[in-house]
Structure 1
């Protein structure tokens, strides 16, 4: 940054360049956008060694800085994850293009014909920590939905993000699309984040992906609409009618597959009427897997390795091998506890009773509610979206994994034959 430059001028220049790219993106055929994304996927595969080398430097620097295990897990790339990024991009490229899709058509008695169609949101600012995969996922989703994006990754992933952004830019160039459609805001200067949050009229929406502190700051300071979730306080309720094998597998996977993801289970809810052998097996599977259990008296009686839970634990997103445990009286108790403590992200029930499952699915107002499935399916790729730009827990615009459709709004086209309003 020179003496003449300010954070506002830097973000302003980037946003204006992104806005200039919007008409080109809006007019780009689906095949052209898909070609750019597929070319970027090929670049990621061809440069996998370079990406992994950059990520190794980021990981080493992160360890030196004392990053938590959760942040290091989000930062880490390996050959499988890099291939997953490339494959995810190819999935996005093959999805139906939402731009121009007709949502509804109707005609009024005076003969006016109305058509509601999907259109891009515009310039999207994505602010994220660790997670270098967001660079590729967000860029591809924005491109396919006709949006330009300004990406602001954390300094801890700067090296990884630089290579991945270059792969995306090369894909754009190969398809004849403007490189300004995907730009990286320099990491390290927090004032640039503030400038993004204040760029009303230049940036159309902000999507934060990171820890509670980052998301809270964005939601508090933004003068631009925000699409976000603050916490992933997710529950798995094991009902009295649960299949024991399913219960053990689902609970263990929900918590321990990856403890640092926002879809990880944080609280286990057990029906008091659950057979003791099943309850012990579920709790034992977690404890045997290295999970610290913080339970109420009934849970501690079933699993001696559990320690006493504190009231605040039920409102904590652990993002670690820790789980709160509560015992409740049937579906009514489960719904009451989840409604009181869920962050509205993802909650699951394990039961063979279809009536009880239906009551849970209907009563729990989270963005994602599952029956007999792990909470770790809270992921755009698992929903068949190829990737996601984030998971939204609010009630406006989009909920759950936000992919192509969630990155569009709509406009209404009205065709007349000379009508005037009386």
Structure 2
């Protein structure tokens, strides 16, 4: 008999996972405790922008004309427990307010709500990013609260989604990690992921703690690489070097590689910053805090970039006050191909300049509504040209393709001063300078 799958939590991770499981041929039931979210999903709409996700959802949500009907949604844990053989927990683990540690309340609530309804054999699979040691505790919770007792097992299967590529990363993952304690759990997960495994995706079997550590270790490594090249940009700035050429030269070494070596205003979003902070907090609880003290500096380099961008803008405007100056900010999301503005470096820079008296106008292809909610006092424009109109400086802060394809000559016609600051090192300096712009980027020569 074919496995039936449930997905608890239908945010960014859960909605993508549910749609992808339906695409792989499974009957899927998604659960959320927010009625508005469930209503949206039942209409085949997603609460966030993610390329390809809405199309995939509409292909499978029951009740939509022409869909497979394999995907349904509910708010009832009893229905989920009765329906599913494998239950994926995909709820959020944000940073605790005023602390570095991770807030486990959503995960704990999901387990506490599901377990009492599990009357027969089931596999519960954690996908949320959690502190090492959580799975062991949650496995005990399941055994204690589930009527089926030891017939309810836990596995830990971390997610490695990149925003902007989430559908691709779920259907064709570069690896599948399974923290398990039995052959039965492994067999069930191999059945769930049979299609990607048949395509050659590696299947890495580990214990619980290793599976929990994989995601935080991976994110810490990426954060380290980004902050490393940004530290090199600071040295280039001081010593007159070119960080783009430096990155190109060291990137040819295949031990280092080219990826994540573009200097700029640093990382943000809902994952990297909170994950490295939670990792530090958990290491401290385990008495291994010295092992991760370097992450404190990684975080510090990253946050420093935002202030440096503000100062570079001030210098470009003559070095005094932002008062009476109009600044165009191209980009609001923390990365392109997303509408996510959580901990966005672009909005942070825009907000700092606004607080210091600048008249800031922001444009972003997908993040405008979320940006307005977070920073209602900033100015917003409907197009890049409208944002640049009358500006004394243009800041390129999110590397959307649309911005790389802008015509600098046409923009120059509407700007007050042709000054562009490239916070992502993604524009072509020669093209902008040829159109009469003063081009500046961190860690690069001025001419």
TM over 0.5: no
Q: Which has the higher strand share?
A: 1
Higher RCO (CA-CA < 8 Å; seq separation 6+): 1
TM-score (norm 1): 0.27
TM-score (norm 2): 0.26
